[in-house]
Amino acid sequence: MSTHPQMGRTEWLASRPRILAAASSLVHDRNYRILLLHASWKDEWQLPGGTHDEGEDLWQTAVRETSEETGLAMPAKPRLLAVDWTLNPEGVAEVWGLFQGPLVDGGPSVRLSDEHDEWKMLTIEEWTPLLPPYQARVLATAVDMLRNGGCTYLREGEQVG
């Protein structure tokens, strides 16, 4: 990493592109049904997760957001399933990390935050018609990684390579 010869580090950092980072978890059961939360402020289903806070890495964001939004604890060790790179409508780059969440058999004991008013556990096939196409593609890829192992890189919701 080099700075422009005429710029100080602070000025150089201020000139760099802004990137938003978010992380989510795939809370699941042994049949690979996935927990999604219905937003209380708009008609949308979401994975537990959100944008990172200052000083957090993506794993820490997934742990914090999953706990805040569901009351569930993440596994002890991080397992990254997918990373998606996209541009939001304002043209700002976003990176989204999807991690394996807790295994919850026998029906999870979910404690919803004020951000959500309902939760469901459904298979990817059941979720697909309820989600926007982009979100359904990302979720399907992450579920595939959860089932079969591995981690993948996505660009705009499409696998790269």
Domain boundaries, the chain: 16-159
Q: What is the pLDDT of residue 66?
A: 98
Question: Beta 19-28 vs 93-103: how paired, if at all?
Answer: parallel
pLDDT digits 0-9 by tens, 41-65: 999 999 999 999 999 999 999 999 9
Q: What is the pLDDT of residue 5?
A: 65
Percent with pLDDT over 70 in the chain: 97
Tokens 């935050």 found at = 113
Which mean pLDDT values do the consecutive 10-residue runs of the chain (161 residues) have? 72 85 97 96 96 95 97 96 94 95 88 95 96 95 97 95 79
Distance of alpha carbon 134 from the chain centroid? 13
- The CATH H-level superfamily of 16-159 is Nucleoside Triphosphate Pyrophosphohydrolase (3.90.79.10)
Q: What are phi and psi of 160, to 5 degrees?
A: -100, 130
The distance in angstroms from the start CA to the end CA of the chain is 27
Q: Which helix (H) or strand (E) holds 39?
A: strand 34-39
Q: What is the pLDDT of residue 1?
A: 53
Q: What is the pLDDT of residue 16?
A: 82
Tokens 């309902």 found at = 118
Angle (CA) 42 48 49, round 5°: 95
